[in-house]
Amino acid sequence: MNSVDKPLAGITVVELGHSVAAPYAGLILADLGARVIKVENPGSGDYARGWGPPFFKDTASAFHSLNRGKEGIAVDFADGAQADALKRLILTEADAVIQNLRPGILDRFGLTADLMRASKPELIWCDIGAFGATGPLASKPGYDPLAQASTGIMSVTGEGDRPPVRVGVSLIDMGSGMWAVIGLLAGLVARQETGQGRVVATSLFETGLAWMTVPLAGYEASGELRRPFGSGTAEIVPYQCFETSDGWLMIAAGNDNLYRKLCGALGLTALATDADFATNMARVVNRERLIPQISAVTRTLSTDALGRKLDDAGVPNAPLLTVDQVSNHPQTQALAMTVRCSADDIDLMGVPLSFDGQRPRSRVRAPKLGEHNDILKIAKPETADAR
């Protein structure tokens, strides 16, 4: 493998994962060049296999998007021979394990960090939990929307006078997978010096709290509970989507100078010097008076015309695009972010990294259930006739 675009070549990771969090961590590691062996239940496999429609061939497109680049084995933990074979695989070949199974499952089968690292101290074990390792919710199962709800993310998302809204992508799951990868990479660096592995732990709840860094700081500073502002934000104005004559444009006038440029581009020069709007602090306080005046102008222009006008003025902006528009956008194409795997004709999103101008990626399709079970080398039970 090329060490430039496959920096983790030679590293083997066993993924005891399902759904999104652990599989996304495994996907990142596979694109970085690691050998990732995905372990699934031999009955139904990863839940994500059935998350459709839409399906690609006979498996949900979601599963393909999260599991390309991996080898796949199916293991029944309750079968002693299969469980032992998995343990041998971890002890003989794995540099790291990533798992996001429900608390207590692995304990029943002796597949725990303590037991595995007692036999292989250099092993790095990554736990992705639901609500964290300690505390009153430690044993509670969790999913992305539960974490979005319980960490306050839903309270600052959407619009204050409407029902709660979740972020439309699996922000918590994928973020937890990223934190697991960061911890695993840190463990690999430390192991070069000490020869010892470690247990890396994160959770959906902790990830949600981390994403709430700014809102929680605002609460600690003021005691105020900010309502959600739709496409906007509590701390900066104007910093939101504005309706145009044929769509929506996100305008990010993130400081006083950009605000003045915005006013000039829209012919609202009087608003630039008005003491009620001249500073961001004043604009936040007087948001409800300012936004309608800007909106009255943006609605008279097409999205393209408004975008060009703001580009010329140096005001950051971007149109609100639909999924099909994003997929076909020339910027998406220019960055070569999508991957088409061997024997597949579906474009799947790659990782947002490049090394010396080369994007790391695996072009191996997602595994079929149990496709690589031969690597387990399951010992066959002896019979009475065995010699």
Please spell the DSSP secondary structure of 72-124, one letter per residue.
EEE--TTSHHHHHHHHHHHHHH-SEEEE-PPTTTGGGGT--HHHHHHH-TT-E
From 10-19, 144-153, 257-266, 369-378, the region with the lowest mean pLDDT: 369-378
Which residue from 179, 183, 170, 120 is spatially nearest to 142, judged by alpha carbons? 170
**pLDDT above 60 for 385:** no
One of 3.40.80.10, 3.40.50.10540, 3.30.70.660, 3.40.228.10 is the CATH number of 12-211+333-376, namely 3.40.50.10540
**pLDDT above 70 for 237:** yes
Considering only the top CATH level, what class is 239-243+248-319?
Answer: alpha beta
Can you give the pLDDT at residue 305?
Answer: 98
CATH 3.40.50.10540 domain range(s) in the chain: 12-211+333-376
112 phi, psi to nearest 5 deg: -120, 160
Tokens linked to 7:
């920096």
CA–centroid distance for 33 within its chain: 19
- Beta-carbon contacts of 259 under 8 Å, excluding residues fewer than 6 positions away, are 238, 253, 272, 277, 280, 283
144 assigned to active site = no
Can you give the pLDDT at residue 5?
Answer: 72
Q: Could you give the C-alpha distances from 344 to 61, 260, 336, 348, 367, in angstroms and in order?
A: 12, 51, 17, 10, 12
- If you average pLDDT over every residue of the chain, what do you get? 94
Can you give the pLDDT at residue 344?
Answer: 85
Q: What band does 3 get if pLDDT is binned at 50, 70 and 90?
A: low
Percent of the chain with pLDDT strictly greater than 90 = 90
Task: State the catalytic residue, choosing from 5, 31, 144, 173.
Answer: 173
**C-alpha span between 30 and 77 (Å, rounded):** 24
Span 230-249, mean pLDDT? 96
**pLDDT above 60 for 256:** yes
Identity of the amino acid at 380? K
Per-residue burial over 83-112, b if 16 or more Cβ lie within 10 Å, else e, is bebbbebbeeebbbbbbbbebeebeebebb
Can you give the pLDDT at residue 380?
Answer: 53
Exposed, middle or buried, 256 (CB in 10 Å: 0-12/13-18/19+)?
A: middle
* The model's pTM: 0.93
- Beta-carbon contacts of 289 under 8 Å, excluding residues fewer than 6 positions away, are 276
Span 323-335, mean pLDDT? 95
Helices 256-265 & 303-313 angle (0-180, nearest 10): 130
Taking the alpha carbons at both ends of the chain, their separation in whole angstroms is 44
**pLDDT above 70 for 170:** yes
**C-alpha span between 302 and 246 (Å, rounded):** 6
Which residue from 316, 238, 239, 306 is spatially nearest to 277, judged by alpha carbons? 238
Can you give the pLDDT at residue 12?
Answer: 98
Tokens linked to 203:
């959770």
Which residue from 224, 218, 227, 222 is spatially nearest to 288, judged by alpha carbons? 227
Percent of the chain with pLDDT strictly greater than 70 = 97
Can you give the pLDDT at residue 104?
Answer: 85
Identity of the amino acid at 177? G
Q: What band does 1 get if pLDDT is binned at 50, 70 and 90?
A: very low
Span 197-220, mean pLDDT? 97
CA–centroid distance for 382 within its chain: 46
CATH 3.30.1540.10 domain range(s) in the chain: 239-243+248-319
Identity of the amino acid at 221? A
